[in-house]
Amino acid sequence: MTNRPAKVRRRPSGPARPSLVALPILLMIVAGCDGPQSALSGAGREATDVSRLFWVMLVGGAAVWIVVMGTAIFAVLQPPRGARVGNAFIIGGGVVFPVVVLAALLAYGLSMLPDWAQSGTRLKVHVTGEQWWWRVAYELPDGTLVRDANEIHLPAGEPVEFVLTADEVIHSFWIPAIGGKMDMIPGRTNRLVLTAEKPGTYRGVCAEYCGTSHALMAFSAIVHERDAFDAWLAGQAKPAVVADSVGARRGRDQFIAAGCGGCHMMRGVVELGDVGPDLTHVGSRRTLGSGILPNDRETLEAWVRNPDHLKPDVAMPGYAMLPDADIAAIATFLEGAK
Amino acid sequence: MSTDKGQVERATGEGTDLWRLITAPTIWAVHFLVCYVGAAIYCEKAGRASALLPVTWFVAATTAVALLGLGLVFLSLWRVRGFSVVGGDLNYLGNTPEERHRFLSHVSMMLCVLSAIGVVFVAMPAFMLGTCR
């Protein structure tokens, strides 16, 4: 042991020091931990709870790891002690300590479960997972439903109850910055209570593989102050607005003539079909194609022509056979439907 | 204790077989089923919004019975432990009924401890939740 070769402890040299390479990579990864889809940004009460749990477990896990590694190294370096010390150590460190830690974590986790006792007057938002978009309806106090699609609006600082189900396959509803997630299962109703705290625009996703375009199934979650939310909801409850222009009126006629209403509800314009997303106020949405594309003229036209190109295997057929002028008119009409 | 008398002097008893080994985990499993099935039936009959207090008492009683059972099994095995691990004369390689008896007794006793922890963890939610929801 005493005649250890002198060169054993030489540090590695050269430009490829692992720590110097790892640092920029680590910084790049950490930079991704913020933004509209971060579970660590704490924009909702439930997300704050989860991120606190994450940090507690991270620090606790690191502490346990350091103690275990330190003890292992200590045991290697020290001469053996008596069996009595060893047994006490095994029972204390191997049985008592894990049991206490796990019991504490279980109690902490159980205390994080939502308080379901007071669910009387909450705003209820019904969300149904479709392939690959979100059917949304806000339940007013009198029981009527205000229909929308692919966007969730929430009042800040109030618990909101999501009533979740799915149409054909299992989806999962998740707004990482606010809270969740919860599976959406056909034939079953799951409930999730979330409290958004900071007004802003966040991103929600489908968190359960649901088919070809699963990765293209997202939505915007917009948190308003209470007054702004009420104003928004009152606007959504009204029928579609047809912009006062020749182009928009022509677009409305083309929209009806091309049979769009066979699948899309547009209150005040056509109220026949209910297969695709409700388009009543499509012009006011942030995104198209359920959270994947900007809501602008170019995208609207491209979507009408060939939706499968933007969202593979989507149920909507392309309308590239329509004259360009008709497609442009439909886009004008939809853009104006605020 | 002289070595030529061997097995007879060291004998700690018989009867610890595989049935005794699974007694403790079986108590744990039955406790789990009784607690969860009982709570499920109660909540189905009483409605989702109803208080969980009767279930809490039911789980507390079931847990007390389960822990009592585990304690009795533990006590019956404790005597053998005195000979098996700390007695110092355990023949680790001995493929004899006595050695098997000691080994299975020791494992059964540790399973008692594990099952008791499991029973407590199973019961914990009943004391922390307020309603059937």
Distance (Å, rounded) from C-alpha A295 to C-alpha A312?
19
- Asked whether residue A25 is assigned to any structural domain, the reply reads no
Query: Among candidates A36, A292, A285, which has minimal Cα distance to A152?
Result: A285
pLDDT at A6: 46
Q: For residues A134 and A167, is the Cβ–Cβ distance under 8 A?
A: no
Number of domains in chain A: 3
Helix (H, G, I), strand (E, B) or coil at B1: coil
Q: Tell me the mean pLDDT in the region A61-74.
A: 91
Option in B117, B124, B133 nearest A107 (CB): B124
Q: Residues in chain A, how many?
A: 338
pLDDT at A5: 46
pLDDT at A243: 81
β partners of residue A174: A180, A205
pLDDT at A8: 46
Q: Torsion angle of alpha carbons B45, B49, B54, B55, nearest 10°?
A: 80
pLDDT at A294: 92
Give residue-wise pLDDT tens across range A211-234: 999 999 999 999 999 999 999 999
pLDDT band for position A203 (50/70/90)?
very high
Q: For residues B112 and B74, is the Cβ–Cβ distance under 8 A?
A: yes
- Whether the predicted pLDDT of A127 surpasses 90: yes
| Minimum distance, in Å, between the CA of residue A102 and any CA atom of chain B | 9
**Contact check, Cβ <8 Å, B129/A117:** no
Distance (Å, rounded) from C-alpha B6 to C-alpha B10?
6
The residue in chain B having the minimum alpha-carbon distance to the alpha carbon of residue A119 is B49
Q: For residues A302 and A310, is the Cβ–Cβ distance under 8 A?
A: yes
Distant-in-sequence, close-in-space partners of B102: CB < 8 Å, separation ≥ 6: B12, B80, B83, B84, B90
**Contact check, Cβ <8 Å, A117/B128:** no
pLDDT at B112: 93
Residue ending a domain, among A220, A237, A254, is A237
Q: Tell me the mean pLDDT in the region A150-167.
A: 92
Helix (H, G, I), strand (E, B) or coil at A90: helix
If one compares B11 and B21, the residue with the highest pLDDT of the two is B21
Report the share of chain A in percent with pLDDT over 90: 54
If one compares A88 and A262, the residue with the highest pLDDT of the two is A262
Write out the residue range of the structural domain in which residue A318 sits: 246-336
If one compares A279 and B85, the residue with the highest pLDDT of the two is A279
Cβ contacts of A107 on chain B, cutoff 8 Å? 124, 128
Query: Among candidates B86, B13, B31, B49, which has minimal Cα distance to A116?
Result: B49
Q: Tokens at residue A43, please?
A: 């924009």
- CATH number of residue A209's parent domain: 2.60.40.420
Residue ending a domain, among A237, A261, A278, is A237
Identity (one letter) of the amino acid at A47? A
A106 touches chain B (CB under 8 A): yes
pLDDT at B93: 67
Helix (H, G, I), strand (E, B) or coil at A139: strand
Give residue-wise pLDDT tens across range A15-57: 556 666 777 777 766 666 667 888 887 788 888 988 888 898 9
pLDDT at B6: 45
Distant-in-sequence, close-in-space partners of A179: CB < 8 Å, separation ≥ 6: A44, A45, A46, A47, A49, A50, A192, A194, A195
Best B90, B110, B117 residue to mutate vs chain A (most A CBs within 10 Å): B117
Phi, psi angles (nearest 5°) of residue A89 = -65, -40
Give residue-wise pLDDT tens across range A235-252: 999 998 888 888 889 999
Interface of B with A (CB under 8 A): 113, 117, 120-121, 124-125, 128-131, 133
Q: Are residues A160 and A83 part of one domain?
A: no
The residue in chain B having the minimum alpha-carbon distance to the alpha carbon of residue A111 is B128
pLDDT at A314: 93
- Whether the predicted pLDDT of B5 surpasses 50: no
Q: Tell me the mean pLDDT in the region A193-197.
A: 90
Size of interface A-B (CB pairs under 8 A): 23
Distance (Å, rounded) from C-alpha A123 to C-alpha A131?
26
Query: Among candidates B68, B62, B63, B70, which has minimal Cα distance to B26?
Result: B70
Q: Tell me the mean pLDDT in the region B30-40.
A: 94
| Minimum distance, in Å, between the CA of residue B12 and any CA atom of chain A | 23
**Contact check, Cβ <8 Å, B133/A95:** no
A116 touches chain B (CB under 8 A): yes
Q: Residues in chain B, how many?
A: 133
- Whether the predicted pLDDT of A204 surpasses 70: yes
Region label for A291, one of left (φ > 0), alpha (ψ between -120 and 50) or beta (otherwise): left
Identity (one letter) of the amino acid at A332? T
**Terminal-residue alpha carbon distance, chain B:** 64
- Asked whether residue A2 is assigned to any structural domain, the reply reads no
**What angle do the packed helices A324-336 and A297-305 form, to 10 degrees?**
130
Q: Are residues A106 and A52 part of one domain?
A: yes
Write out the H or E segment, with its range, that includes residue A303: helix A297-305
- Asked whether residue A207 is assigned to any structural domain, the reply reads yes
Distance (Å, rounded) from C-alpha A29 to C-alpha B105?
52
Cβ contacts of A106 on chain B, cutoff 8 Å? 121, 124
- Residue A195 CB coordination number (10 Å): 20
Distance (Å, rounded) from C-alpha A57 to C-alpha A49?
12
Q: For residues A226 and A207, is the Cβ–Cβ distance under 8 A?
A: no
- Whether the predicted pLDDT of A80 surpasses 90: no
pLDDT at B16: 57
Distance (Å, rounded) from C-alpha A139 to C-alpha A119?
14
- Whether the predicted pLDDT of A97 surpasses 50: yes
Residue ending a domain, among A86, A113, A140, is A113
pLDDT band for position A300 (50/70/90)?
very high
Q: For residues B111 and B20, is the Cβ–Cβ distance under 8 A?
A: no
- Asked whether residue A41 is assigned to any structural domain, the reply reads no
**Contact check, Cβ <8 Å, B125/A110:** yes
Q: For residues A122 and A160, is the Cβ–Cβ distance under 8 A?
A: yes
- Asked whether residue A97 is assigned to any structural domain, the reply reads yes
Give residue-wise pLDDT tens across range B46-103: 887 788 888 999 999 999 999 999 999 898 888 766 565 555 566 666 667 777 777 7
Q: Tell me the mean pLDDT in the region A163-167.
A: 94
Helix (H, G, I), strand (E, B) or coil at A200: strand
Query: Among candidates A255, A275, A254, A253, which has minimal Cα distance to A264?
Result: A275
pLDDT band for position A173 (50/70/90)?
very high
**Contact check, Cβ <8 Å, A113/B129:** yes
If one compares A283 and B49, the residue with the highest pLDDT of the two is A283
A6 touches chain B (CB under 8 A): no
